[in-house]
Structure 1
Amino acid sequence: MISYFNDYANLCFEKFGDRVKYWITFNNPWTHAKVWHSYNKTWRSKQQGMVGISLTSAWGEPVDLSSKKDIEVAERYVQFYLGWFANPIYSGDYPEVMKNYVGRKSAEQGLGTSRLPTFSVQEKSYIKGTSDFLGISHFTTRYITQKNYSTLQRPSYHTDHDLAELVDSKWPDPGSKWLYSVPWGFRRLLNFVKTQYGNPLIYVTENGVSEKLQCIQLCDEWRIEYLKAYINEMLKDPLTTHMEMVTEIVVPTVFTLCILISAILLMFLLRKHS
């Protein structure tokens, strides 16, 4: 399938590369490096485009922020969700926590090797760095806590990570059973990506909310509120930087000017009085 997909991608590059400058190899893979290498070798110099991947991830928030265990479990949630595909691209291998947990579960099930595939040294080198940007699809957040699954349960992705997902009843419920409006989780996910993967170029490829009511006329105030809140969270980083600039540069400058003007006015008044 890799060769077939690579042939298809090269045909797309050939026919549309003079106009299309942003390519996404996979959207929501629950599976790319060969196509990036093909573009890099054959098409990039003349088409000057970019090839990336789009990954979906919710944010995992620790139930108890003072609990080291909950913090570790919440990160494990994001690593199993996002790191599963992002880590090989940026580090060349699956997340360590994923390898450890799947390996341990596989051993408990009497398997001689882990159910998680192993990359060879050549594969790690070939995969690492094969993304010019990272597409992020994000919709919601979960509180995460530890949950130990019985070894008698059927092994799966959902039992490998030993955790439970919780929601807050106060979170707005826009419509779909799985989707809650938790804007602050979006910013935390973006900051995680920034620190975890070396501040890559990010494009938000999916975000939004499902239909809530069947209306005969326009009535989607909940969608407006959802999008406004999530966009505001995305804008907080540059806003913070701007406020720091105001605090560190503008305010001292204005303060200094006020002192100078006051001194000049005082000298003028004293001279006039004398």
Structure 2
Amino acid sequence: MVNYFNDFANLCFERFGNRVKYWITFNNPWAHAKVWHSYDTQWRAKQKGLVGISLSGDWGEPVDISNQKDIEAAERYVQFYLGWFATPIFHGDYPQVMKDFIGKKSVQQGLGTSRLPTFSPQEKSYIKGTCDFLGIGHFTTRYITQKNYPSGRSSSSYFTDRDLAELVDPQWPDPGSEWLYSVPWGFRRLLNFVKTQYGNPMIYVTENGVSEKMLCTELCDDWRIQYYKDYINEMLKDPLTSHMEMVTEIVVPTVCTLSILLSAIFLMFLLRRRN
């Protein structure tokens, strides 16, 4: 199928390449690198275009930011989701956490090798760097916590390999679809993750939006307008704003908690001295 798809892509480059300068090989991919190389060797010099890919990626936030297991589970959530395809394209191999967890589960199931395929050195070199820009389809966020799943062969799946549970905050705006909550701050955190993990690539947001909350016979798009406004604002925030938000969300509550604890300890010390 890879060769057939490559033939189809080359036909598109030949017929439309004089007008089309941005190509997305796949929206949620299963075979990509060969087409990028075909464009790079045969068409790029004369057509001056770019070839990228579009990947889905929702953000995973630890339920407890002081719990290392929750932090690691949230990292796994994003790596199994976006990193599954992005990491081979930018770094040449699957995310290490995928190799570790799927390999461990495979051994526990009595399999001789990991259920996750292994790239040869030649394949790693061929895949790495095959992305002129990264398309991201992003919609929502989940809170993530550690959860151990059994390793029985009949129960093994992509979801149980991750050893995590997904949660939502009841205070998040009610969705039009049961899976899609409006969580704008997760969008910015995902963009910062991509910037850090993959060397600040050029990004196009190829999918983003929300379903309507109610059936209506006339235009009633207030929910969707608010969703887009909130998500675009998160994308536009400058680094200083982001840093100040981190201070507000994490540092200030931590300092307040420590202050309360120290005050309580000091009060106990005074009461003991009086007694």
Query: Could you list the per-position Cα deviations for residues 44-64 of structure 1 after superposition, in whole angstroms to 9, with x for gaps in the alignment?
Result: 001000000000011000001
Q: Distance in 2 between matches of 1:2 and 1:87?
A: 20
Residues 1:130 and 2:140 are matched in the alignment: no
> Structure 1 residues 64, 31: CA separation in 2 closer, same or farther (over 3 Å shift)?
farther
1:214 CA displacement: 1.2
Task: Give the deviation of 1:138 after TM superposition.
Answer: 0.2
What is the match of residue 196 of structure 1? 197
What is the letter of the counterpart of residue 7 of structure 1? D
User: How many Å apart are 1:211 and its aligned residue?
Assistant: 2.4
Q: Does 1:108 align with 2:108?
A: yes
Distance 1:80 1:180 in 2: 20
- Tell me the residue number matched to 1:155: 156
Partner residue in 2 for 1:59: 59
2:19 matched to 1:19?
Answer: yes
For residue 79 of structure 2, what is the aligned residue in structure 1? 79
Higher alpha-carbon deviation: 119-128 or 167-176: 167-176
Please give the alpha-carbon distance, in whole angstroms, between the structure 2 residues aligned to 1:227 and 1:218: 16
| Preserved contact between residue 25 and residue 51 of structure 1 (Cα < 8 Å) | yes
Q: Any stretches of 5+ residues in structure 2 without a counterpart? A: 245-275
Q: CA RMSD in A?
A: 1.4
Alignment of 1:1-274 (within 5 A): 1-29=1-29, 31-152=31-152, 154-237=155-238, 240=241
Residue pair 2:212, 2:223 contacting (<8 A) in 1 also: no
Aligned residues of 1:209 and 1:223 also touching (Cα < 8 A): yes
Please say if residues 23 and 51 of structure 1, whose CA atoms lie closer than 8 Å, have aligned partners that are also in contact: yes
Gaps of 5+ in 1: 244-274
Q: Work out the CA distance in 1 between the residues paired with 2:107 and 2:31.
A: 24
Aligned residues: 242
Deviation at 1:30, TM superposition (A): 6.2
- Whether the aligned pair in 1 keeps the contact of 2:61 and 2:141 (CA below 8 Å) is yes
d(CA) in 1 for partners of 2:101 and 2:167? Answer: 21
SS state of the match for residue 129, structure 1?
A: coil
Can you list the C-alpha shifts for 1:204-250, whole angstroms capped at 9, x where unaligned? 00000012211111111000100000000000136749x9xxxxxxx
1:93 counterpart letter in structure 2: D
Task: Find the residue that maps to 2:155 and give its secondary structure.
Answer: coil
TM-score by length of structure 1 reads 0.86
Q: Tell me if the contact between 1:31 and 1:85 (Cα under 8 Å) persists in the aligned partners.
A: no
Runs of 4+ in 1 over 4 A off after TM superposition: 238-241
AA in 2 matched with 1:79? Q
Letter of the structure 2 residue corresponding to residue 90 of structure 1: F
Distance 2:13 2:94 in 1: 29
- Which one-letter code corresponds to 1:25 in the other structure? T
**SS of the counterpart of 1:215?**
coil
Percent identity of the aligned residues?
78
